[in-house]
Amino acid sequence: MVGGEEELPAARAAIQFAYTGRVEAGGGIREVLQVRRQAAYLQMEGCMEACLAAVREKLEAGGGAGAGAAAAGGGAGGGAAAEVPPPTAVLELYSCRDVWPDPSEDPAFAALLTEAKRRLVAHFGDTLAVLNKQQLYEQMQALPAEGLEALLESDDFGTDSESSVVLVLAEWMAANHSRTDAATRRRLCELLRLVQCSRTYLSWVLPALAARHEASPDSAAGWLPLTRDDATCLLTYSSATEKERSAITGEGLLSMSVAIEHWPANWLSTQRRRQCLPAEGRTIGFSASLAELTQAFGGLESAEMNLIFPSLAGTRHANHFGAQGWEWSPYVRWKSGDAAAGAFVQPRMPAALGASGSAAAAGAKLLNGAVVAFPRLRLTVCGAGGQQAWSNSYDSSEVVMARHSWGWAKALELREAPATDQQGDTANGSSSGSGSSGVVAARWSGYLQGGTRLSGSVTLLPPP
């Protein structure tokens, strides 16, 4: 059946197959599937099989491990595909969902799709790769619901925490809510293993999202089909002992057991996804130029304080990265006259967890007042020779209020600033006064590689 001129090439290719025994579909997977659709209408089983074989061949030629293999390694950008490969054939397959046959009625295509799902998961690798790498993030947002479903349902889609899985879905919803219906949103949300979320999510984020859903279930802010009663039950269940859980799900707490009976099974699943952080951790480099240091610290008055957020290497955001379902910004702080500078990390609420319009008020106080637990990480600053000059670690016992920071106020010992004469020239002849790059360079010289750049790293570590 030819629906229009655009389908004529596929119809001709299907008919040509009867004479040549070959699928002559120019282009890529979309064109092959269009030929297969025409072959199905013409009941040309041989052509249909040949088309599926052609798609399978393209998938195999398009790469197997993809970004997931890179994500398993170390290196800058968190081992999360420091060099993300170009889009693979499996992304092309998911981009043409509109020409798929119905997998429930086509066992051969369903089998191919099972293999494609494995390749899709391997391409994206894990939540930290998706949240922190621009190309993978954009590819995730471009997936149809079926593609995201393949990631969410897989144990092999790695993560540091189920909270990061929820954030990936929130980021996808922020871009695709208008293209979904309530049934699709529920299907995706049913794949979350909510009881495994961090305490920050169970105590603050999920209740806020539940409040938004109750206030406006069809709005973009109300995408998670969770009530505030559900959120309360989840928090209670997550901290309960095994005996208490048995009572909750039995006859003991009738109000809770009634609520839980209507939950998707995955919400209480204890089956862990693959832990994406290796024992040695995943490292993200950062740096700040002498010019940036001078701008931040060069013109301070006596006892005046300022800070600088260094640039992160290979991350989607210039100065913050995603982990544990939250965002984190390392920074350096110095008060004029102090002999040492501080090193800190500040949590930031991801924009995808925010809301606008009438739904924004619902849950706002919860998120703004959230208590955030730090991920396990190591913060390191290099010396002028590239060696480790200072390092310290955070563990999951450190918590702060949202928008606050945690760190070490006297982390980096600085050198005494050179004396200046009345004209503002330094004693060794370099130009300008106390705010000059020469003075800043002298003060920070123990940490400036090549005399021009402060460098360091954040290493995300797996849970203990």
Distance, in Å, from the CA atom of 211 to the CA atom of 250, rounded to the nearest integer, reads 27
Confidence of residue 422 (pLDDT cuts 50, 70, 90): very low
Confidence of residue 72 (pLDDT cuts 50, 70, 90): very low
> How crowded is the C-beta side of 406, counted as CA atoms within 13 Å?
23
Q: pLDDT over 90 for what percent of the chain?
A: 73
Which CATH number describes the domain made up of 282-460?
A: 2.60.210
- Among the residue ranges 93-107, 157-171, 282-296, 433-447, the one predicted with the least confidence is 433-447
The model carries a pTM of 0.90
More confident residue, 105 or 421: 105
Beta bridge partners of 158: 126
DSSP calls for 2-17? --SGGGHHHHHHHHHH
Q: What is the mean pLDDT of residues 74-102?
A: 71
* Res 244: pLDDT: 84
CB atoms within 10 A of CB 98: 8
Distance, in Å, from the CA atom of 174 to the CA atom of 209, rounded to the nearest integer, reads 13
> For the chain, first and last CA: distance in Å?
60
* Residue 211 near residue 362, CB atoms below 8 Å: yes
* Residue 276 near residue 70, CB atoms below 8 Å: no
Residue 89 clears pLDDT 70, i.e. is over it: yes
* Res 63: pLDDT: 57
The secondary structure of 70-114, three-state, reads: HHCCCCCCCCCCCCCCCCCHHHHHHHCHHHCCCHHHCHHHHHHHH
Q: What b-and-e string marks burial along 384-411, b requiring 16 or more CB atoms within 10 Å of the CB?
A: beeeebbeeebebebebebeebebeeeb
Q: pLDDT over 70 for what percent of the chain?
A: 86
In total, the chain counts a number of residues equal to 464
Distance, in Å, from the CA atom of 352 to the CA atom of 317, rounded to the nearest integer, reads 14
Distance, in Å, from the CA atom of 79 to the CA atom of 71, rounded to the nearest integer, reads 5
- Which residue, 132, 154, 130, 150, is CA-closest to 141? 130
Confidence of residue 4 (pLDDT cuts 50, 70, 90): low
* Res 358: pLDDT: 64
* Res 420: pLDDT: 58
Beta bridge partners of 381: 390, 456
Beta bridge partners of 345: 330, 406
Q: Residue 449 has what DSSP assignment?
A: E
* Res 73: pLDDT: 46
Please report, as a single letter, which amino acid is at residue 334. W
- Among the residue ranges 303-307, 365-369, 371-375, the one predicted with the least confidence is 365-369
Residue 21 clears pLDDT 90, i.e. is over it: no
Q: Are strands 448-449 and 282-289 parallel, antiparallel or unpaired?
A: unpaired
- Which residue, 166, 290, 277, is CA-closest to 223? 166
* Res 85: pLDDT: 52
Digit-coded pLDDT (tens) for 299-316: 999 999 999 999 999 999
Q: What is the mean pLDDT of residues 67-92?
A: 56
Backbone angles phi, psi at 284, to 5 degrees: -120, 120
* Res 61: pLDDT: 87
* Res 66: pLDDT: 52
- Among the residue ranges 138-147, 239-248, 249-258, 275-284, the one predicted with the least confidence is 249-258
* Residue 192 near residue 266, CB atoms below 8 Å: yes
The average confidence (pLDDT) of the chain is: 88
Backbone angles phi, psi at 194, to 5 degrees: -60, -35
More confident residue, 373 or 464: 373
3-state DSSP assignment of residue 150: helix
* Res 360: pLDDT: 66
Residues 6 or more apart from 283 whose CB is under 8 A from it?
A: 74, 75, 76, 78, 79, 457, 458, 459, 460
CB atoms within 10 A of CB 136: 26
Digit-coded pLDDT (tens) for 161-218: 999 999 999 999 999 999 999 999 999 999 999 999 999 999 999 999 999 999 999 9
Beta bridge partners of 85: none
Q: What is the mean pLDDT of residues 348-364?
A: 80
DSSP calls for 196-208? GS-HHIIIIIHHH
Digit-coded pLDDT (tens) for 107-148: 999 999 999 999 999 999 999 999 999 999 999 999 999 999
Confidence of residue 251 (pLDDT cuts 50, 70, 90): low
